Amino acid sequence: MGIRATLIRPFAKHIARQIDRWSKEAVPIQQRLLPALLAKAEHTAFGRAHGLSAKMDYRAFRESVPVRDYEALRPWIDRIIAGENDVLWPGRPRYFAKTSGTTSGVKYIPITRDSLPNHFGTARNALFNYYARTGKGAWLDGKMIFLSGSPELEEVGGIPTGRLSGIANHLVPAWLRTNQLPSYRTNCIEDWDTKLDAIVEETLQADMRLISGIPPWVQMYYERLLERSGKRTVLEVFPNYSVFVYGGVNFEPYRAKLEELVGGRIDSVETYPASEGFIAFQDSQTEPGLLLNVDSGIFFEFVPADEIFNEHPTRLSLAEVEPGVNYALLLTSNAGLWAYNIGDTVEFVSLDPPRIRVTGRIKHFISAFGEHVIGKEVEEAMRLACEATGASIVDFTVAPQVNPPEGGLPYHEWFVEFATPPADLGAFAKRLDEEMVRQNIYYRDLIEGHILRPLVVR
């Protein structure tokens, strides 16, 4: 074990003990957190407009603060950008995390001094927890790649603004900065293809031990690395590579291809960061699901996914949820978000401790014919079809074909980019449809009732 891993080991064990403690007290911690958030925001503009007070119970909070998406939050954000203080949270945000995905284009999500530890302390805790649980800390004494957006920030309303991963580059602790790749200069390259070449050149001769990024980015990095090095696997290039950290998208559709490129299976740590907050992380190498980050300034609410567009949806606290139910996720946090719908859906795989699985996005919901298909079902069907046929994919998308140009019954149309195409595309499509029938009873009924015909793969 290297010097750094030896020095950090006691702190890693301390972090793991803290996680054990709060994961066993998740519901009481959440119950105490809401009044603390309400008390802090009582004298903000939002607090005055909604009568926020530490004396409010959860029922009163639900009645006073409706569910909001970004479009409903935007007038408050605009007031912050215009220079107003104490709008959603005392003072002004330390940063805006810039992201996209709304009808208005760019979203500016506040990050406050109080919420900084949630974002960046949780990432550290997830890795230190992995070290404490497994005893594997050699990655601390080698190089680490963090594939991220540009760290260059702009000013919006006098507030430093950029992608969350770019903001993170400014907050890397000094002890880690010497291990971190790529360089700041390379990270600032905007063109992804040019940036990828530069990352490969910087890392080719390094003792790489940890790689972090969303799976499709990492897959492109692996492929470019092998092309440049002439090696067959990533482990031939980086023999000490031992842990892959990922988040942002479902790993399973990419698993087979990534393991093939690496040359075997290595440990991985899944995280669930978002611009709105660091929501959950993998706390065990043996138990399924991601541990909900209940002691980090976020009060969680859960809405049955099929009610999220109702005017008055059912809202549940952590104490009221059930395993196996698909919920839309709401956040109330020390970043100044209030019953904020982030657009994700989750289900609980366990309640004690509270572990979740991300099932998709609200917009990744197909019900043109009443089938109620969600992202998790689509991804699982794709995974099983690939396993059965020996195929692997780069990416795919699904949409309902309501009025087929060729006539006949409507269907779900799958556009698939294969890394390894199946030997028989028709057989692949048949297996994919069979898996969808198994995954979703509404879809099965529509197929059997000749309302839909089997899916089509393009």
Domain boundaries, the chain: 1-362, 365-457
**Do 398 and 363 touch, CB atoms closer than 8 A?**
no
Beta bridge partners of 346: 358
How far apart CA 42 and CA 271 sit, in angstroms, is 32
How far apart CA 244 and CA 145 sit, in angstroms, is 10
pLDDT number for residue 441: 83
Looking at every residue in the chain, the average pLDDT score rounds to 93
Closest CA to 456 of 430, 435, 434, 438: 430
How far apart CA 392 and CA 134 sit, in angstroms, is 30
pLDDT number for residue 143: 96
pLDDT number for residue 190: 83
Beta bridge partners of 323: 348
Query: Is the dihedral angle over the CA atoms 251, 252, 257, 259 positive or is it negative?
Result: positive
Q: Show the DSSP H helices in 110-173 as ranges.
A: 116, 122-134, 164-169
**What CATH class does 365-457 carry?**
alpha beta
Q: Which of 75-89, 217-231, 239-253 has the lowest mean pLDDT?
A: 239-253
Q: Provide the pLDDT confidence category of residue 174 given band limits of 50, 70 and 90.
A: confident
pLDDT number for residue 101: 56
Q: DSSP string covering 3-20, please? A: HHHHHHHHHHHHHHHHHH
Average pLDDT score over residue span 153-159: 97
How far apart CA 366 and CA 356 sit, in angstroms, is 22
Q: Which residue has the tokens 């000749």?
A: 450
| Other CB atoms within 10 A of residue 88 CB | 23
Q: Is the pLDDT of residue 112 over 90?
A: yes
Average pLDDT score over residue span 33-44: 98
Contacts of residue 289, Cβ cutoff 8 Å, sequence gap at least 6: 282, 348, 349, 350, 355, 356, 357
Q: Provide the pLDDT confidence category of residue 366 given band limits of 50, 70 and 90.
A: confident
- The two tokens of residue 206 are 């390094």
Please give the share of the chain, as a percent, with pLDDT higher than 70: 99
Q: Which residue has the tokens 């064990």?
A: 13
Average pLDDT score over residue span 179-184: 93
pLDDT number for residue 99: 87
Closest CA to 355 of 23, 133, 1: 23
Q: Which CATH architecture has domain 1-362?
A: 3-Layer(aba) Sandwich (3.40)
pLDDT number for residue 451: 84
Query: Bigger pLDDT: 360 or 447?
Result: 447
Give residue-wise pLDDT tens across range 270-309: 999 999 999 999 999 999 999 999 999 999 999 999 898 8
The alpha carbon torsion through 141, 146, 150, 152 (nearest 10 deg) reads -30
Give me the numbers of helices (H) and strands (E) for the chain, helices first please. Answer: 17, 20
Q: What backbone phi and psi angles, to 5 degrees, belong to 308?
A: -65, -25
Q: Is the pLDDT of residue 384 over 70?
A: yes
- The two tokens of residue 437 are 């029938």
Q: What angle separates helix 252-262 from helix 215-229, to the nearest 10 degrees?
A: 20
pLDDT number for residue 144: 96
Q: Is the pLDDT of residue 102 over 50?
A: no
Beta strands in 13-126 (DSSP E): 95-102, 105-111
pLDDT number for residue 55: 93
Average pLDDT score over residue span 49-53: 97
Average pLDDT score over residue span 80-90: 98
How far apart CA 261 and CA 394 sit, in angstroms, is 13
Q: Show the DSSP H helices in 65-104 as ranges.
A: 70-81
Q: What backbone phi and psi angles, to 5 degrees, belong to 90?
A: -55, 140
How far apart CA 334 and CA 93 sit, in angstroms, is 10
Q: Is the pLDDT of residue 104 over 60?
A: no
Q: Show the DSSP H helices in 191-231 as ranges.
A: 192-203, 215-229
Q: What is the DSSP letter of 129?
A: H
